[in-house]
C-alpha cells in the first residue's frame, strides 16, 4: 500500500508519516511539500491513496487534484484550513473523496483513510499485502506475480501494468486515454492501437477463450472494463 502525502508543512509530513507507519507496517509513505513535485511522485509511483493539502507552492491542491482526476480515480483526501467551507466544497466538486480540516489528530486522519478505502472497495493496509482474486485469476501486487488456476502467468512489464490498472478499477469502464496515460505516461506517444495490441496479448494469456473474453470487456470506441466472474460462472 502506497500513500502519497503532499503538504507544505514538514512537521505535518513527519507526523503523518510516523502515524501511518506505526499503525500499518506494510505501508509506504511518499511525502512532498510542493504541488508540482507531488504530482511527479504520483505519476512515478501510482499511489493507492493521496492526502493532499489545498495550499501548496508550485501547483495548489486544486490544480493537482484536477490533474489527478484527468487520469485516475485514486481516492483523494483534501486537507483544508478550519472553517474554509468554500475550499471543502470546491475540492469535493473537483473529485475529492473526503476532506479533513487542520489542525487534526493522526487518529482522525487514519479513520478517514480507512473510510475512503472502504468506499472505494480497496483493502486497508495490513500485515500481509492483499491479493486480487477473480475466478481462476490471482494477482500479488507486491511481487507482481500473476497466476491462473495456480499456474504462473508470464507477463511483460507493460502487460502487467495494463492489467494492474484494469483490476484496480474492476467493474468500471477505463477510457482509452486514461489507460494510455497510466501505462505509458502523460507525455505518451501511444495510440489506441497500442491498447488493442496489449489487450489482445493479455486475453491470449488470461482468457480461456480469447475471442469470447471472460475478464476484459471492450466498450467499442470508449475503453475497456475488467469484470469479475460471478461465482459458479
Secondary structure of 50-63 in the HEC alphabet? EEEECCCCCCCHHH
Asked, for residue 126, whether it belongs to a domain, the answer is no
Whether 69 and 175 share a structural domain: no
Whether 105 and 138 share a structural domain: no
18-43 confidence digits (pLDDT tens):
888 877 777 888 999 999 999 889 98
Domain count, the chain: 2
pLDDT of residue 150: 85
Whether 108 and 136 share a structural domain: no
Whether 9 and 114 share a structural domain: yes
Instruction: Please state, in angstroms and rounded to a whole number, the distance separating the CA atoms of residues 197 and 22.
Output: 44
Asked, for residue 68, whether it belongs to a domain, the answer is yes
Query: Smallest Cα–Cα separation from 42: which of 34, 53, 33, 30?
Result: 30
Asked, for residue 124, whether it belongs to a domain, the answer is no
Whether 151 and 107 share a structural domain: no
- Give the range of the structural domain holding residue 85, as residue numbers without chain letter: 2-119
pLDDT of residue 83: 61
Pick out the chain residues at pLDDT < 70. 82-84, 119-131, 142, 186-189, 231-233
Show which of 71, 94, 119 is a domain's final residue: 119
**From its phi and psi, is residue 46 left (phi > 0), alpha (psi between -120 and 50) or beta?**
left
pLDDT of residue 17: 85
pLDDT of residue 121: 59
Show which of 87, 119, 151 is a domain's final residue: 119
133 CB-near residues (< 8 Å, 6+ apart): 139
Whether 87 and 112 share a structural domain: yes
Whether 111 and 152 share a structural domain: no
Instruction: Please state, in angstroms and rounded to a whole number, the distance separating the CA atoms of residues 35 and 42.
Output: 10
Query: Smallest Cα–Cα separation from 2: which of 86, 82, 75, 104?
Result: 75
Whether 145 and 214 share a structural domain: yes
Asked, for residue 125, whether it belongs to a domain, the answer is no
pTM: 0.53
pLDDT of residue 127: 37
pLDDT of residue 232: 53
Amino acid at each position: 500500500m502506497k500513500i502519497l502525502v503532499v503538504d507544505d508543512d514538514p512537521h505535518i509530513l513527519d507526523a503523518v508519516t510516523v502515524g501511518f507507519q506505526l499503525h500499518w507496517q506494510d505501508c509506504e509513505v511518499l511525502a512532498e511539500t510542493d504541488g508540482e513535485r507531488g504530482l511527479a511522485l504520483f505519476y512515478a509511483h501510482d499511489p493507492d491513496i493521496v492526502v493532499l493539502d489545498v495550499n501548496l507552492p508550485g501547483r495548489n491542491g486544486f490544480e493537482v487534484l484536477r490533474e489527478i482526476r484527468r487520469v485516475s480515480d485514486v481516492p483523494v483526501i483534501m486537507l483544508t484550513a478550519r472553517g474554509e467551507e468554500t475550499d471543502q466544497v470546491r475540492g469535493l466538486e473537483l473529485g475529492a473523496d473526503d476532506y479533513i480540516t487542520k489542525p487534526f489528530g493522526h487518529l482522525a486522519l487514519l479513520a478517514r483513510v480507512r473510510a475512503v478505502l472502504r468506499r472505494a472497495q480497496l483493502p486497508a493496509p495490513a500485515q500481509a499485502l492483499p491479493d486480487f482474486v477473480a475466478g481462476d485469476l490471482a494477482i500479488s501486487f507486491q511481487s507482481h506475480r500473476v497466476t491462473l488456476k495456480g499456474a504462473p502467468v508470464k507477463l511483460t512489464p507493460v502487460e502487467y501494468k495494463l492489467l494492474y490498472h484494469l483490476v484496480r478499477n474492476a467493474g468500471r469502464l477505463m477510457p482509452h486515454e486514461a489507460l494510455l496515460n497510466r501505462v505509458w505516461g502523460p507525455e505518451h506517444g501511444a495510440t489506441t492501437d497500442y491498447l488493442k495490441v496489449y489487450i489482445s496479448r493479455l486475453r491470449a494469456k488470461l482468457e480461456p477463450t480469447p475471442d469470447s473474453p471472460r475478464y476484459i470487456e471492450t466498450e467499442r470506441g470508449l475503453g475497456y472494463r475488467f469484470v469479475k466472474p460471478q461465482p459458479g460462472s
